[in-house]
Structure 1
Amino acid sequence: MTILDGKKVSNDIKDEIAAEVAAMRERGEKVPHLAAVIVGEDGASLTYVGSKVRACKRIGFESTLKQLPESTTEEELLELVGQLNADPEIDGYIVQLPLPRHIDEQKILMAVDPDKDVDGFHPTNFGKMALELETFISATPFGIIELLKRYEVETSGKHTVVIGRSHIVGRPISILMSQKGAAGNSTVTLAHSRTQNLEELCRQADIIVSALGVPNFVKADMVKDGAVIIDVGITRVPDASRERGYYICGDVDFEGVKDKASFITPVPGGVGPMTIAMLLKNTLLARQRKA
């Protein structure tokens, strides 16, 4: 069993980006500038955005944080999105999800300039990804593919079962895993809440990507010997005995499954760190394409 160490790989990627940024400065070029917009006081979102800002500082990016109150209207947020679209100093930006319930997330994401959509959520970028054209790939699926490549996990001809059909992870990773090239060429089954015989499907899988958000959903009896396990789930489980009052749990029963897997991602420390690394990679690409 080999741990797919997302923390190590993400640090390697950040070091590679930092070297490129240093070279850009040496040449007198503008360095990448990433902006993040957060509305409200969601604890997980604040933590996540904070880690992105710190990562920018580490690798030499410029960064801007726009923190808005919970009471921000949809019109006010759309106005800010328009300003970021028009700002030539900003190479890429993200609008942190979830947004308050009174704001239409889809309307906001549709308003983002696709050329600055480093989250890869805009339909233009999703469509280009599906057609294998140059674009921004959603950071989490992008991170999974990069992890598989760097550990040289064989995917060609394998049966991949993706659990979860979200537009952010499930659907894009199902497309990427079936495309030609490294970390692709697999036969993909996309499973969801209406899928029948899910446990049996998982037992047939050479690769399982679980993006369900249900703690410990994938058990050892659902996994065949030698399977590759990619756990995208990250759930805060309340636990009064811990200092923070919770612990982080993935979709996969790690202790039960690890001895059957050939490769497995831990939670935390697997897919999560890769997401931030690939967001930074997208921002670098945005700057390079403009240059």
Structure 2
Amino acid sequence: MSAIITASGVAKTFRQAKRLPGLGGAIRSLFSRDYSQVHAVTEISFAIAAGEAVGYLGPNGAGKSTMIKMMTGILVPTAGSLSVLGREPHSQRMVNAAEIGVVFGQRSQLWWDLPVRDSFDLHRHIYDIAPARYTDNLAFLCDMLAMSDYLDRPVRQLSLGQRMRAEIAMALLHDPKILFLDEPTIGLDVVAKDAVRKFLAHINRERGTTIILTTHDLQDIEEICPRLIMVDDGKLLFDGELSRLRAALGSRRRLRLEFGTDPGPIALSTARLVNDEGAAKHFLLDSETTSILDVLTELGTGYDLKDVALVEPAIEEVIRTFYQQKPHLAAAP
């Protein structure tokens, strides 16, 4: 499948004025200033195919939002080349905007004092959406995101979850081929997050909308994005599926063995005891190739074993382990 987004050696450097302390420093700054270079993005390359859902992850200050802004044409790369739907985003920003949707979790496209419907109608005129197409899309989005009850309420009267659903709907009214989402679930409650995640997974799966998502809520990634792009200090550290990341870090699978009575300490060569609850014992499997059968074979039949459960590591643990080991992983081929 051909790529609709390609980045090759993309970099972004900002020129930042140095602020000197005290009144004297403030006066000196009026006549002469020193500047420093801040490297927000450094030689990042990747390709994203149509219909993919990609999580763009990294700690605060890693360059995630800067990259999103370059892909949407808001910022101009300092170096490298960037193509979105065959165009250079910043030089063809108007044409590019007609085929993408953008949601910034801490910014709003909605008009604060107007009903949601009026903001949608203004969007229809800006994007010159045909009336029939607009009606169909609005009906679909209202149904999927349960917005019908508050379409005629002013935006300022909406809860954060309602407003975010309206923001996402507005970004999709013109049928964009790519949807960029920067922290779309920030501050939402559990119910609102679940509704947004299910909707995004649906439009990616059923409508083939390409999704690029930055988030600190790793459950967003697990439910929406099979592929991860991970960055830190503006540099690309990992690009691939979550399953490959798990494999690259070595197995972190846990095995829970429940016995009829406490068998006492158990030492195994195939697994390491990490939590002893008496009759229930938790082991960390030593390698990716170790199976439950290997452990049970070594354990033998001299125990009153009642239940066995294999627990895959949570995505939070996988990501945390990755960043803890990033110097080693970044150096690996």
Structure 2 length-normalised TM: 0.31
Pick 1 or 2: higher relative contact order, CA cutoff 8 A, min separation 6. 1
Bigger fraction of residues in strand:
2
Using structure 1 for the length normalisation, give the TM-score. 0.35
The answer to which structure has the higher helix fraction is 1
